């Protein structure tokens, strides 16, 4: 049997969210690497609705821009001055074709754990029962803040009462309205014209539709869900954190069941769009964000944060912060590495301790082991960059590129002043400042001859521990007198 397809899904995202106490609209706060609204859109799109409509008002331009980037096919509708979920839904219906038939689902932009599966269950139950309206409900031991489901003697839904309008007896009801509905679109259009604003808030409630529909003799059903997390909305930052923690717990558990070893789930955070291969090991205090892709047999962490990275099979990344980087198969990174956008490390390459890279392509088998900055550079295959090297890529105005060939060996404490190239198979000496291109197979050095100023400590640091140590070491040979001339190397004193 073919699963039913909704005529439309309407997502209500017009609320101000004053309890968030934020300049950012509530639906643009994020958990699991997506905004609250992003989660709602993903759940709705999973049903392949003929129309997707998002109602906006507070922070309208910010929310609309986010929707346009998130789902360009979604329709953006503005709610007018009339308040309430009923009016918001009415505005959305006005934007849909007048001849539209079938089922319309109404969801909320602040219920991030709601899944496509649960929405599909609502849709199927609604269609199978022949109902004009169906509401998702849940039972809570503490239903404070939620509208209560009013049941008729036969168990059907008689209506919904908001907490502010509830009597004391109604306030004791534990079955709550989730704010998630399925309606016959024609019935919904008609019923909304009969909804008024005579209530404590002076708003046009969508919940009033259920009583109107029932009064018309049409069927109103409840679709009770057991997973109450899917019905929980975000009203403040405490709830945002709670739902973020629960979402992460579910993501981590799903990947562990799929073959990923997570050493400490309580300190591991994985965004919803991250993907893993098999036999990955994730150590404690590791966060993997964005659309990162992790290959088979990779070891991550501890103490690692990665965003939008791609890691090949068998690589190891330890105590590293990285974003928009590519790490090849069998490569090693860290500890204490910083991979900035544009970093590409080839197969079996190495980026080591206290190394920072940016816009750097490092070839297969090449190593940048320690204490080095590589920016705006290309390094060939099987080359080794000496410790404490800096790729000097910025002159204060322009960024410029450095190229190191394959099978090169560069000395420690090198400065590569871009733009400059080092040819294949070339070497550079320790302490070299490379300002000119180095031909293939050449050795580049620019070290001045060393001079030893004999007796300097005896004259300039007399009485110090250094002077005493030097005197003890030289007790069998004279220290140069204070009035002796210090001449350049190769000359003799008179």
CA distance 480 to 71: 81
State the Cα torsion 299-304-305-307 to the nearest 10°. -20
Kindly report each contact of residues 279-282 with a partner whose C-beta sits within 8 Å and lies 24 or more positions away, as own/partner.
Answer: none
Among residues 415, 414, 421, the alpha carbon closest in space to that of 436 is found at 421
Query: How far is C-alpha 317 from the chain's CA centre?
Result: 18
In sequence order, what DSSP letters do the residues of 182-250 get, joined into one string? EEEHHHHHHHHTT----STT----TTHHHHHHHHTT--EEEEE-S-GGGGPPP-SHHHHHHHHHHHHHH
Among residues 367, 348, 365, 347, the alpha carbon closest in space to that of 357 is found at 367
Task: Determine how many CB atoms are found less than 10 A away from the CB of residue 419.
Answer: 13
User: Among all chains, which residue has been given the structure tokens 């739902």?
Assistant: 243
Q: Which of 126, 289, 370, 458 is catalytic?
A: 370
Query: Is 29 a known active-site residue?
Result: no
User: Among all chains, which residue has been given the structure tokens 């509830």?
Assistant: 166
Task: Determine how many CB atoms are found less than 10 A away from the CB of residue 263.
Answer: 15
Token representation of residue 116: 């496509």
User: Among all chains, which residue has been given the structure tokens 């008024």?
Assistant: 196
CA distance 455 to 36: 72
Among residues 2, 100, 118, 3, the alpha carbon closest in space to that of 53 is found at 100
Token representation of residue 422: 């080092």
CA distance 221 to 213: 11
Is 193 exposed, middle or buried, given 0-12, 13-18 or 19+ CB atoms closer than 10 A? Answer: exposed
Hey, which residues are catalytic here?
370
């Amino acid at each position: 049997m073919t699963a039913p397809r909704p005529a439309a899904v309407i997502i209500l995202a017009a609320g101000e969210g004053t309890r968030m106490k934020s300049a950012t609209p509530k639906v643009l706060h994020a958990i699991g690497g997506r905004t609250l609204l992003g989660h709602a859109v993903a759940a709705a799109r999973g049903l392949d609705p003929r129309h997707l409509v998002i109602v906006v008002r507070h922070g309208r331009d910010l929310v609309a821009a986010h929707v346009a980037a998130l789902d360009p096919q979604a329709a953006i509708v503005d709610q007018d001055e009339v308040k309430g979920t009923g009016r918001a839904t009415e505005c959305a219906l006005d934007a849909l074709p007048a001849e539209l038939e079938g089922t319309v689902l109404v969801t909320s932009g602040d219920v991030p754990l709601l899944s496509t599966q649960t929405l599909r269950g609502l849709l199927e139950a609604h269609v199978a029962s022949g109902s004009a309206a169906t509401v998702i409900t849940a039972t809570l031991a503490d239903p404070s803040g939620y509208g209560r489901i009013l049941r008729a003697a036969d168990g059907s839904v008689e209506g919904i009462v908001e907490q502010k309008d509830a009597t004391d007896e109604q306030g004791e009801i534990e079955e709550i309205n989730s704010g998630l509905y399925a309606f016959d679109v024609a019935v919904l259009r008609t019923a909304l014209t009969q909804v008024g604003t005579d209530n404590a808030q002076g708003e046009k409630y969508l919940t009033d539709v259920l009583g109107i529909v029932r009064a018309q003799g049409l069927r109103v059903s409840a679709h009770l869900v057991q997973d109450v997390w899917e019905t929980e909305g975000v009203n403040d930052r405490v709830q945002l954190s709670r739902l973020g923690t629960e979402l992460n717990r579910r993501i981590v558990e799903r990947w562990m069941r799929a073959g990923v070893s997570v050493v400490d789930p309580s300190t591991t955070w994985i965004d919803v769009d991250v993907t893993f291969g098999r036999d990955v090991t994730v150590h404690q205090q590791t966060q993997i964000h964005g659309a990162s892709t992790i290959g088979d047999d990779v070891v991550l962490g501890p103490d690692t944060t990665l965003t939008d990275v791609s890691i090949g099979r068998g690589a190891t990344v330890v105590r590293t912060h990285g974003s928009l980087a590519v790490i090849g198969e069998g490569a090693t990174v860290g500890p204490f590495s910083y991979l900035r956008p544009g970093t590409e490390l080839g197969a079996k390459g190495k980026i080591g301790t206290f190394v920072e890279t940016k816009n750097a392509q490092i070839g297969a088998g090449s190593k940048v082991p320690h204490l080095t900055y590589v920016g705006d550079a290309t390094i060939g295959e099987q080359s080794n960059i000496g410790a404490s090297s800096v790729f000097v890529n910025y002159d204060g105005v322009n960024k410029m590129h450095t190229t190191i060939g394959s099978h090169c060996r560069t000395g420690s404490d090198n400065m590569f002043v871009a733009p400059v190239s080092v040819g294949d198979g070339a070497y550079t000496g320790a302490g070299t400042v490379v300002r000119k291109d180095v031909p293939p197979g050449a050795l580049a050095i620019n070290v001045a001859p060393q001079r030893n100023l004999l007796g300097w400590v005896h004259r300039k640091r007399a009485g110090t521990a250094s002077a005493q140590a030097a005197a003890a070491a030289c007790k069998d040979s004279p220290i140069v007198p204070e009035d002796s001339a210090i001449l350049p190397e190769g000359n003799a004193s008179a």
